[in-house]
Amino acid sequence: MSDARPAPVVGIVMGSDSDWPVMEAAAEALADFEVPYEVDVVSAHRMPREMVDYGEHAADRGLKAVIAGAGGAAHLPGMLASVTTLPVIGVPVPLKYLDGMDSLLSIVQMPAGVPVATVSVAGARNAGLLAVRMLAAHDDGLRERMAAFQRELNEQATEKGRRLRN
Ligand code: RP5
């Protein structure tokens, strides 16, 4: 029997399974838009060879974007960006100390030529939505769904104002 699951087009990776409680919001955003994704732990420091291998083969395996989350000395997104041509979205995961500032600065302050699109600390849902937007640039159906989602956000915000005024 063949595996009927669609091939993943977005890779969600993280430095440890302890990042998952933050990172699962990226998976939920992709699921909301029915974008197939894969999830894995690929630690830059504990699994450097596997990390390079993941980055080097991600595009060949059909992925269109990578969402990478890590905490502390969060080198995973940047290192992946250095070995793949795919867009990499970095998610700073907050740990026990420093409120995620260490993670944020580790991810956002990349050298010229090696971009990582960094979302806010624990901003995994936005990372998922950004990946959807990247895919939607070449997919009219997905673009319309994103537009509908944005209309919904507008209606919700408008309704909040209406309730406050009344
Ligand atoms: C980072 O170290 C991981 O991304 C995680 O945020 C942090 C702690 O990892 P564990 O010690 O919980 O495995 O590389």
Query: Across residues 67-72, what is the average pLDDT?
Result: 98
Is this prediction's ipTM beyond 0.95? yes
Q: What is the pLDDT of residues 16-55, one digit of tens each?
A: 999 999 999 999 999 999 999 999 999 999 999 999 999 9
Residues with a CB atom less than 6 Å from ligand 1? 14-16, 18-19, 43, 45, 70-72, 93, 95
Q: What is the pLDDT of residues 121-153, one digit of tens each?
A: 999 999 999 999 999 999 999 999 999 999 999
Atom of ligand 1 nearest to the CA of 19: 6
pLDDT of residue 1: 56
CATH topology of domain 10-139: Rossmann fold (3.40.50)
Pocket test of ligand 1: the residue of 12, 13, 18, 42 to mutate, having most ligand atoms within 8 Å of its CB, is 18
CA of 70 to the centre of ligand 1 (A): 7
> How many Cα atoms within 13 Å fall on the side-chain side of residue 131?
34
Q: Could you tell me which of 18, 4, 39 has the C-alpha nearest to residue 127?
A: 39
CA of 155 to the centre of ligand 1 (A): 39
Q: What is the pLDDT of residues 100-126, one digit of tens each?
A: 999 999 999 999 999 999 999 999 999
Look at ligand 1, atom 6, and give the residue with the nearest C-alpha.
Answer: 71
pLDDT of residue 5: 86
pLDDT band at 2 (very low <50, low <70, confident <90, very high): low
Judge contact between 94 and 122, C-beta under 8 A. Answer: yes
Instruction: Name the binding residues.
Output: 16, 19, 46
CA of 115 to the centre of ligand 1 (A): 23
Which residues are 41's β-sheet partners? 14
pLDDT of residue 68: 98
Helices 48-58 and 76-83 cross at an angle (nearest 10°) of: 50
CA of 126 to the centre of ligand 1 (A): 21
Helices (H), the chain: 20-32, 48-58, 76-83, 101-108, 124-136, 140-165
pLDDT at 3 over 70: no
Helices (H), 38-123: 48-58, 76-83, 101-108
pLDDT of residue 14: 98
Q: What is the pTM for the complete model shown? A: 0.95
Show me where the domains of the chain are located.
10-139
Tokens of 55: 């980055």
pLDDT of residue 84: 98
pLDDT at 4 over 80: no
